[in-house]
Structure 1
Amino acid sequence: MDTDLIRKYNVPGPRYTSYPTVPFWEAASFSESIWLDRLLAGFLATNRRQGISLYIHLPYCESLCTFCGCNKRITRNHAVEERYIKAVLAEWNLYCDRLPEKPQIAELHLGGGTPSFFSAENLKRLLDGLFSSADRASGGFEYGWEGHPNNTSREHLNVLYDSGFRRVSFGVQDYDPTVQRAIHRMQPVENVQRVTEWAREIGYTSISHDLIYGLPFQKPDSIRQTVLETRRLRPDRISFYSYAHVPWIKGNGQRGFQDEDLPSGTEKRALYEIGRELLEMGGYSEIGMDHFALPHDALYQARQNGALHRNFMGYTTTSTRCLIGLGVSAIGDAGTAFAQNEKEIDAYINRVLAGELPLMRGHGLTETDGWVRHQIQNIMCRFKTGWNPQDWSTEEWSQLKPKLEAFYADGLITYHESGLIVTEKGRPFLRNICMAFDRRLNQAQPIQKLFSQTV
């Protein structure tokens, strides 16, 4: 581990689940009519050939996890479930009324929040309502959801399996009690083992465990213990995320510990390297950034055959031109436009039930945006990208080339005038390499905090 490189490149930067990243969306490029026009174009381009993607945000949690930066509401009042599901289905119907043919759903993901906060019965109501207006894509589909090990029941797993779900991810984070207390996420390994075994028995073909490195009080021994326990349970894929410390984001709940309780940049990277080595010794392969999979898993196969894709749901094996986001704060992607829903639950529900699409903001991509997005997608998913030298003006190339030279001098890439390849040494710095291509970020030079550290 090169500590000098970590100090040099540990700067705030996007995770690039989209380009442009949300802080650089332009209000002037967006309206409901622009979104619907571009969504329709994306839908027609992909629905019959591949199907479309659907993301549903289920925001409720019974307790606050202090590491979490997601949009959520903390409550133990489960009466909120029915009204929220009613709103999501109303939003879905607003879209279906505007589409010229029945949607074919190739990719479906339930995220949160805590989807397993909802009863199995209410999740069934939600899915039955969705598929009353849509079909499962005939060419194949991949459906996944996120479960909390403490409240996922066998009934949850059965109901979703019966609706076509074969992927489930369980949030583990860390097994060390000191770390768990700091992040307010107390769950013994026995709970994780129970739901993992249930999922296998039912027939799920891709079970994922989500781990995080860089958490407060996390030490090398806790990472070793967590990874070894994870290896013992043998999930098909593992997300090994870098903790994104962004306490300046309103309402994200990142409190309960002090900044000095967090590992430094070099200590944090050392935690990742310990985890990565143990995972690879256990037969897992690193996929993209912060993801690992066993050779039989579809994520590994997508990396091998060049089909790996990255969007607001992270790395996926399915790429469609149309992603519709349903629920509070959900983001849709029409290929040439993004749209995000209201971020406050009551505002979202009230608008939907009044018959309005609950759009809050969005961005219509320019031709240049699309080109940059393609380069960043290649780097994040394939560790390489290429271009026609004529794509760059003399001024643009003169700005990019010194950055590429610096990466090359540090051994992070090889490059020529028509492309680059990220070296093994450069993979920890994917976000930094992408930032060199991020024209909006480079032009804006933001003076306020927007992103977490890249390392």
Structure 2
Amino acid sequence: MQQNLVQKYNIQGPRYTSYPTVPYWEPEHFTTGAWTEALIRSFRETNTTQGISVYIHLPFCESLCTFCACHKRITRRHDVELPYIQTVLQEWELYCALLPDPPVIKELHLGGGTPTFFSPEHLALLLNGIFSKAVIAPAPEFSFEGHPNNTTPAHLQVLYELGFRRVSFGVQDYDPLVQKAIHRIQPFERVAAVTAGARSVGYESVSHDLVFGLPFQTWASMQSTIERTIELKPDRIAFYSYAHVPWVKGVGQRGFRDTDLPSPELKRKLYEEGKALLERSGYVEIGMDHFALPGDALHQSLHNGQLHRNFMGYSSSATQVMIGLGMSAISDSWYAFGQNEKSVEAYRERVQEGRLPVVKGHLLNEEDLKIRKHILNIMCRLKTSWQEPEMQLPGLPEITSRLQEMEQDGLLEIFDGGVNVTAAGRAFVRNIAMAFDLRLIRKQPGTQIFSMTV
């Protein structure tokens, strides 16, 4: 990778789990009534054909990881579990009362926070409550995020019996110095044990999350982490770039100094060399920051055109409706986004009053919907086309002029009515997607609101 390209394209930019991105939402035009209208419209269009996705945010963690940018609540008190679950189930009842038919759940994901902070019994109570008001689609995709230090055999067994077949474990890095800096101490032996435990229960896909760009990382330490990960042969590997956003998350990302972070050049080397090592070991790059073995559903979805990206990251199936439950959770009706209250107390108060806890959102206009399709194509298929009238935009001349510069740098190829991302361009897919982001182009942020793309 030419260092001048790294320097040129290492700018702040979105990760595009949505379009428009959250900082460019227009909450002044948003109302809960408009959100529910958009949700019902989309639900009627797709519930019986696609089903819906459900994301449940479980925010509690026993300790703070200093690299984390998630909405969480740090506590060792487990008496918070049941009241929170009861509130989530109340929120689900509010949604089910709005919808014209029982929702068909195709995809469900437990995120956080630390979902395995909750006891297996409480997770079963939560999920049975969700399922009691829904229809489960054929071959559903249920997954959860497990902390290697507190995911027990009982967690794995109970969730498996409830239909979960995929689990991702947050590994991040095995180097002791790095683990100390990010306050995430977990030995390799613990990760190996919980990975073997998931497979023995019958999980079909085990994923490990690794992060590059963390404090004190070197290529030697990163290489060791990847090699030890390959020993366990997870079906998927998420190889995330550390998003350093202390201006958003405050003290949570101030557990180390900025000077302890790898330079942009070293960070890019960690990715490039790490990617090469993974590919030599049989993993295939999927979109941005994901790798999978050829037999995994994520790899298969890439080749059959079903790969999708939403607030949960990459998914092997696409649903137009995603309902987010829990504090800070974001819902997506394709035509609108809605985000819940970000504190546990405010979230609980609104739900107990019988109101949806959605307090912020965005209603997509016609231009937004077209750009959203283009960015999804870039992020999931590494190509897009504007040959069809429904994909054409008034801003296309401005977009193509930006793409031409990237073509000169070897990141993509422009053909008559479309664009293909090259192998060299995969590392800069966020930058390529930014060329389509007319909201970002028209109003550059005055302060740093996104992480760096490299």
TM-score where L is the length of structure 1: 0.98
2:273 is aligned to 274
One-letter amino acid of the counterpart of residue 75, structure 1 = T
Contact 1:59 1:114 in 2 (8 A): yes
Query: For residues 450 and 416 of structure 1, what CA distance do their matches in structure 2 show?
Result: 33
Contact 1:288 1:380 in 2 (8 A): yes
2:231 is aligned to 232
One-letter amino acid of the counterpart of residue 246, structure 2 = P
One-letter amino acid of the counterpart of residue 171, structure 1 = G
2:213 is aligned to 214
2:25 is the alignment partner of 1:25: yes
Contact 1:223 1:274 in 2 (8 A): no
Contact 1:210 1:239 in 2 (8 A): yes
Deviation at 1:273, TM superposition (A): 1.4
Query: For residues 306 and 388 of structure 2, what CA distance do their matches in structure 1 show?
Result: 25
Range that drifts further, 413-422 or 72-81? 413-422
2:92 is aligned to 92
2:82 is aligned to 82
1:70 is aligned to 70
Deviation at 1:251, TM superposition (A): 4.3
1:450 is aligned to 449
Deviation at 1:72, TM superposition (A): 0.2
Contact 1:68 1:252 in 2 (8 A): no
Query: For residues 361 and 83 of structure 1, what CA distance do their matches in structure 2 show?
Result: 24
Contact 2:69 2:249 in 1 (8 A): no
Any idea what SS the aligned residue of 1:426 has? helix
Deviations 1:1-56 (A, max 9, x none): 21100000000000000000000001233111111111011111111112110000
Any idea what SS the aligned residue of 1:267 has? helix
2:411 is aligned to 412
RMSD over aligned Cα, in angstroms? Answer: 1.0
2:141 is the alignment partner of 1:145: no
Query: For residues 218 and 190 of structure 1, what CA distance do their matches in structure 2 show?
Result: 21
Closer/same/farther in 2, CA of residues 278 and 250 from structure 1, 3 Å limit: closer
Range that drifts further, 413-422 or 106-115? 413-422
Contact 1:91 1:357 in 2 (8 A): yes
Query: For residues 330 and 351 of structure 1, what CA distance do their matches in structure 2 show?
Result: 14
* Aligned residue runs from structure 1 range 16-415, under 5 A: 16-138=16-138, 140-251=139-250, 253-388=252-387, 391-393=392-394, 396-415=395-414
Any idea what SS the aligned residue of 1:56 has? strand
Deviation at 1:350, TM superposition (A): 1.2
Query: For residues 42 and 397 of structure 1, what CA distance do their matches in structure 2 show?
Result: 28
2:8 is aligned to 8
Any idea what SS the aligned residue of 1:253 has? helix
Range that drifts further, 105-114 or 255-264? 255-264
Deviation at 1:417, TM superposition (A): 4.3
One-letter amino acid of the counterpart of residue 344, structure 1 = S
Deviations 1:117-155 (A, max 9, x none): 0000100000111111112113x2100000000000000
Any idea what SS the aligned residue of 1:105 has? strand
Deviations 1:142-198 (A, max 9, x none): 000000000000000111101100000000000000000000000000110111001
Query: For residues 142 and 124 of structure 1, what CA distance do their matches in structure 2 show?
Result: 17
Closer/same/farther in 2, CA of residues 186 and 357 from structure 1, 3 Å limit: same
Query: For residues 448 and 221 of structure 1, what CA distance do their matches in structure 2 show?
Result: 35
Query: For residues 331 and 85 of structure 2, what CA distance do their matches in structure 1 show?
Result: 18
Query: For residues 380 and 290 of structure 2, what CA distance do their matches in structure 1 show?
Result: 11
Range that drifts further, 313-322 or 384-393? 384-393
Any idea what SS the aligned residue of 1:137 has? strand
Any idea what SS the aligned residue of 2:111 has? strand
Any idea what SS the aligned residue of 2:39 has? helix
Q: How many correspondences in the alignment?
A: 452
Any idea what SS the aligned residue of 2:217 has? coil
Query: For residues 307 and 301 of structure 1, what CA distance do their matches in structure 2 show?
Result: 8
Deviation at 1:282, TM superposition (A): 1.1
Closer/same/farther in 2, CA of residues 8 and 334 from structure 1, 3 Å limit: same
Closer/same/farther in 2, CA of residues 251 and 73 from structure 1, 3 Å limit: farther
Query: For residues 215 and 2 of structure 1, what CA distance do their matches in structure 2 show?
Result: 22
One-letter amino acid of the counterpart of residue 312, structure 1 = F
Contact 2:370 2:393 in 1 (8 A): no
User: Which sections of structure 1, spanning at least 5 residues, go unmatched?
Assistant: none
Query: For residues 213 and 222 of structure 1, what CA distance do their matches in structure 2 show?
Result: 10
Range that drifts further, 214-223 or 382-391? 382-391
One-letter amino acid of the counterpart of residue 2, structure 2 = D
Deviation at 1:356, TM superposition (A): 1.0
Deviation at 1:336, TM superposition (A): 0.4
Query: For residues 398 and 190 of structure 1, what CA distance do their matches in structure 2 show?
Result: 55
Query: For residues 283 and 445 of structure 1, what CA distance do their matches in structure 2 show?
Result: 40
Query: For residues 399 and 50 of structure 2, what CA distance do their matches in structure 1 show?
Result: 36
Range that drifts further, 246-255 or 281-290? 246-255
One-letter amino acid of the counterpart of residue 342, structure 1 = E
User: Which sections of structure 2, spanning at least 5 residues, go unmatched?
Assistant: none
TM-score where L is the length of structure 2: 0.98
Contact 1:414 1:420 in 2 (8 A): yes
Deviation at 1:388, TM superposition (A): 2.9
